[in-house]
Amino acid sequence: MEGRMSFEDQEKDQPFDDHFSVQEYLDYFYSDVMTKYDEDEGVSMPWILDQFHRTFAGERDFGNRLLDVGSGPTVYQLISASRVCSEIVCSDIHQGALAEIKRWKNGGENVFDWSTAVKYVSELEGTG
Ligand SMILES: C[S@@+](CC[C@H](N)C(=O)[O-])C[C@H]1O[C@@H](n2cnc3c(N)ncnc32)[C@H](O)[C@@H]1O
């Protein structure tokens, strides 16, 4: 992240994309996704996925279409919802982040590997 400006320093007419590296974000926050340790939060991903699972495994009717605001380049937050909602719309001000999700969906080269998170949710659902 060296040499990057803070959000406050950014010129208003400069695209947000220029100051945020999708790859660095994924590597920094989500490498070793299920075991990643953070000083403040500990190992949080299993807990986060448990909460999404509990939310979407209930009887509640969520409708067919889900809007994810601020998707970033990640999909872990959508795994449980994808079992319930047939259409998921990802949104973000960062076009590169959305492009990364498209690459992942289309099976592009060297896409981020979310398979351990998907496997974890599948096991929660009893389908893994
Ligand atoms: C904390 S990140 C979360 C990203 C990802 N969902 C994750 O869990 O790692 C918040 C995201 O919201 C996006 N964002 C910030 N302001 C936004 C806005 N006004 N409209 C859409 N997306 C926005 C940012 O670009 C960033 O990707």
Of 82, 80, 77, 76, residue with least CA distance to 126: 80
Looking from the CA of residue 16, the nearest atom of ligand 1 is 25
Domain parsing of the chain, residue ranges: 16-125
Residues with CB under 6 A from ligand 1: 69-72, 74, 77, 91-94, 97
Looking from the CA of residue 92, the nearest atom of ligand 1 is 22
pTM, full prediction: 0.87
127 CA to centre of ligand 1 in angstroms: 30
Per-residue pLDDT of the chain (128 residues; tens, 9 = 90+): 344 444 455 555 556 777 889 999 999 999 999 999 888 989 999 999 999 999 999 889 999 999 999 999 999 999 999 999 999 999 999 999 999 999 999 999 999 999 999 999 999 999 87
Looking from the CA of residue 73, the nearest atom of ligand 1 is 5
Smallest CA separation from ligand 1 atom 11, residue: 70
CATH superfamily name and code, 16-125: Vaccinia Virus protein VP39 (3.40.50.150)
Question: What is the C-alpha to C-alpha distance for residues 117 and 77, in angstroms, rounded to an integer?
Answer: 10
Of 57, 82, 72, residue with least CA distance to 17: 72
